[in-house]
């Protein structure tokens, strides 16, 4: 089996995580799935390409090798619901975003298979993510975790109408310092672009497990999730082509947002308790 993640070690206090960008399905999992899974329709497509400025900036980057249909790296290993009362997909998803079954009736993963996938795919990703956060924290005294996501602009299962372009989650401002969210707002207001990009904080997407679990501003670990509408940089219909012309319009803003987070964190770090 291939390594369950790709990792690049950087030098600045920034780690970019892409837990849903994987497009591989291990043979032993593929054999359990229905043919619809092979379409990988719910992938956070092309994010390593969209964030191609990250390594140049000096950021560390980790992104998944395997599809979220194998296991969802942005869910707790106990499969607790991130949004109680709202529809969501689980640790080992059993259907697609449009409720197509990923398994034949009566053959969803049992407890033993779920634990196998946690050990094989989930734990290695989180061990590497945590180790890099701790390395950067020790090196710089502060670290920013940017959890990068994207989703189709229309998914009626999760939200009505068309999704806002840029959907930021900071666990209602608990996963980062109180001023970091404002620093992002200031960057968005100060960026002049055509077309303009709509944005919202802590609406339908407040940040998943990674943002909520690792964001510990009291320890100088500041986490933010960005759920981006895929129409900003790609074709949303299969075969989901990347659109460099569209991506080029939003990438300068992405870099400014990343820079603003790191600059704010460095200016406002405080001695760890």
List pLDDT tens digits, range 206-219: 999 999 999 999 99
The sign one gets for the Cα dihedral 8, 91, 170, 269 is: negative
Structure confidence at residue 2 (pLDDT): 77
Q: What is the pLDDT of residue 79?
A: 85
SS3 letters across 217-260: HHHCEEEEEEEEEHHHCECCCCCCCECHHHHHHHHHHHHHHHHH
Domain ranges of the chain: 5-267
- How many Å is the Cα radius of gyration of the chain? 18
Please state whether beta strands 221-229 and 143-151 pair in parallel, antiparallel, or not at all (unpaired).
parallel
Instruction: Report whether 186 contacts 107 (CB < 8 A).
Output: no
Average pLDDT over residues 91-116: 96
Question: Helix, strand or coil for residue 172?
Answer: coil
Residue 36 pLDDT = 96
Burial class from Cβ neighbours inside 10 Å (0-12, 13-18, 19+) for residue 200 reads middle
pLDDT > 80? residue 170: yes
Taking only the tens place, the pLDDT of each residue in 108-159 is: 999 999 999 999 999 999 999 999 999 999 999 999 999 999 999 999 888 8
Domain 5-267 is classified in which CATH homologous superfamily?
Zn-dependent exopeptidases (3.40.630.40)
Neighbours of 138 (CB within 10 A): 10
Contact 220, 143 (CB under 8 A): yes
- Average pLDDT of the segment spanning 217-239: 97
Spatial contact of 18 and 47, defined as CB atoms under 8 Å apart: yes
Q: What is the pTM of this model?
A: 0.95
Share the mean pLDDT of the chain.
94
Q: Which of 52, 53, 47, 51 is closest to 21 using CA atoms?
A: 47
* pLDDT of 105 above 80: yes
Mean pLDDT along residues 255-260: 97
Give 202's DSSP letter: S
Residue 203 token pair: 């609406």
Residue with tokens 């000096």: 58
Q: Is residue 273 over pLDDT 70?
A: no
Cβ count within 10 A of residue 1: 11
What are the backbone angles phi and psi of residue 57, rounded to the nearest 5°? Answer: -70, -25
Angle between helices 178-190 and 244-268 (to 10 degrees): 140
For the cut 70, the answer to whether the pLDDT of residue 194 exceeds it is no
């Amino acid at each position: 089996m291939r390594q369950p993640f790709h990792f690049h070690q950087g030098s600045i206090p920034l780690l970019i995580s892409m837990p849903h960008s994987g497009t591989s399905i291990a043979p032993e999992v593929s054999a359990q799935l229905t043919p619809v899974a092979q379409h990988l329709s719910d992938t956070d497509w092309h994010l390593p390409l969209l964030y191609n400025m990250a390594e140049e900036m000096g950021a560390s980057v980790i992104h998944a090798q395997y599809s979220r249909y194998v296991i969802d790296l942005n869910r707790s290993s106990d499969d607790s619901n991130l949004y109680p009362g709202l529809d969501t997909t689980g640790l080992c998803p059993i259907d697609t975003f449009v409720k197509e079954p990923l398994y034949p009736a009566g053959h969803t993963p049992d407890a033993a298979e779920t634990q196998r996938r946690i050990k094989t795919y989930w734990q290695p990703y989180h061990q590497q993510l945590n180790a890099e956060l701790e390395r950067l924290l020790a090196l710089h005294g502060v670290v920013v975790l940017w959890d990068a996501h994207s989703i189709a602009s229309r998914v009626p299962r999760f939200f009505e109408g068309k999704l806002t372009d840029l959907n930021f989650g900071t666990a209602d401002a608990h996963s980062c310092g109180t001023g970091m969210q404002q620093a992002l707002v200031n960057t968005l207001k100060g960026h002049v672009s055509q077309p303009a990009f709509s944005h919202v904080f802590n609406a339908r997407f407040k940040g998943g497990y990674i943002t909520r679990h690792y964001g510990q501003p009291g320890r100088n670990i500041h986490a933010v999730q960005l759920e981006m509408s895929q129409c900003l940089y790609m074709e949303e219909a299969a075969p989901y082509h990347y659109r460099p012309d569209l991506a080029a319009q939003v990438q300068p803003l992405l870099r400014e947002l990343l820079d603003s987070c790191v600059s704010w964190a460095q200016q406002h770090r405080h001695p760890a308790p």
